[in-house]
A = this chain, B = another copy of it.
Amino acid sequence: MVESLTISNSTKLLLIVLDGLGGLPVVEGKTELELAKKPNLDQLAKRSALGMHIPVDYGITPGSGPGHLGIFGYDPIKYQIGRGILEALGLGMEVKDTDIAVRGNYATVERKDGRILVKDRRAGRIPTEENRRITRKLAENIGEIDGVKVFIEAGMEHRTAIVFRFPHPLPPDSHLINDTDPQKEGKEPLEPRGLNASSEEVARVVRLFLKKVEEILADEPVANYMLLRGFAQKPKMEDFYQRFKLRACAVAVYPMYRGLASLVGMDTLPVAGSTLQDQIETLRSVWDRYDFFFLHIKKTDSYGEDGNHWGKVKVIEEFDAHLPQILELKPDVLVITGDHSTPSLLRGHSWHPVPVLLHSPYVLGNTAESFTERECLRGELGIFPAVKLINLMLAHSLRLAKYGA
């Protein structure tokens, strides 16, 4: 409904995502947000609307894809991002409506009685450098198959992503192809087969691709085969600008988050370095050119995944030190939140609601003393679905017309 009410004006909306922000008590009953010394954030929290968002649903732990789609205003249950697409985005590859993406794992196979048997599904987790050499070899020898362009990119250890770019848009469900990974050593890789006409057409190209891979890797001692998992297609999503009348850009360092932003149609901006300071410079340099800015900070999540709560605390404190520079840009609506919680106690993503701070002239404020999980619970935004965050940002920037007479 919100799409039919959007109006344009000159306001600036800034969405800052501290990846995996929410936490659980780790030291003396305190969460990382409660342990961090963050005078600027706490001061801002007093003058802001606070609340918690639920990324997907009660009890549901989101991956990075659904976590971000939700806060971008796209229902993460309706729009599902397949594994292959996410892998490709994570390696900085472009994905288009004409593409099928899949994850490829280098494997070791042996031939026995004319059969191929998987000896090691991960090729002994070859070093990333070795992966790069082999991937380069494949890329140089496979440019195109039957008019389908093939892009392949090395990931960490034995992992790669492959994008098959067809010369024409593909119907939905063209990615319905089984994984080739037999999941067990000593078994034969499965033949990729399509579940319908269009996916079988894709599978035919994939089989030709695997034939070539086999030939090219025949002389490799370890990584002499490739198993494919998670065939996927870019989900059809209406463009962010079309929906919300916001010219949007992403200021993110990590490829996956740049990729997720580009999926919904945001411009992904080059960042000259990898520090928060570099990101702020980029933000400043394009401030006049966009309406909506997505700033992504990764390390809160990384330290959470490592179970390193002091590391996470330090990233929050570093962000706090940079906050005054961000406030100098004078966004009309500023949201600081996460895409999901990553409590270091759990060493991974979790289902817990995520703290939200929304700053604008049109809030009650004065509901809390600081920006923490517990204080956000007392805020005026309540606990709400992440997908509604964009409504709140639009409303507070006076970009939504009245509904009904």
A170 within 8 A of B: no
Assembly CA distance A106 to B365 (angstroms): 46
A404 x B366 contact (CB < 8 A):
no
For residues 315 through 346 of chain A, which have their beta carbon under 8 Å from a beta carbon of chain B? Answer: 343, 345-346
Assembly CA distance A381 to B25 (angstroms): 16
Which residues of B are found within 8 Å of A63, using beta-carbon distances? 402-405
Assembly CA distance A343 to B401 (angstroms): 16
Which residues of B are found within 8 Å of A346, using beta-carbon distances? 362
Residue interface mask A78-94, B partner, CB < 8 A = 1: 00111100110000000
9 closest pairs, A vs B, by CB?
A: A59-B391, A59-B395, A382-B383, A58-B388, A66-B404, A63-B404, A86-B405, A351-B395, A58-B391
A62 x B391 contact (CB < 8 A):
no
A362 x B343 contact (CB < 8 A):
yes
Within the complex, which residue of B365, B373, B378 is in contact with A378, where a contact is CB–CB below 8 Å?
B378
Which residues of B are found within 8 Å of A83, using beta-carbon distances? 405
A positions within 8 Å CB-CB of B: 1-2, 5, 24-25, 29, 31, 52, 56-66, 76-77, 80-83, 86-87, 230, 343, 345-346, 348-353, 361-367, 373-374, 377-380, 382-384, 388, 391-396, 400-405
Within the complex, which residue of B64, B353, B363, B392 is in contact with A58, where a contact is CB–CB below 8 Å?
B392
**Interface of A: prevailing SS:** loop
Which residues of B are found within 8 Å of A382, using beta-carbon distances? 52, 353, 377, 382-383
Which residues of B are found within 8 Å of A377, using beta-carbon distances? 367, 378-380, 382
Known contacts A5-B60, A77-B1: does B24 contact A363 (CB below 8 Å)?
yes
Known contacts A60-B395, A377-B367, A379-B377: does B350 contact A362 (CB below 8 Å)?
yes
Which residues of B are found within 8 Å of A352, using beta-carbon distances? 362, 364
Q: How far is the CB of A245 from chain B (nearest CB, A)?
A: 14
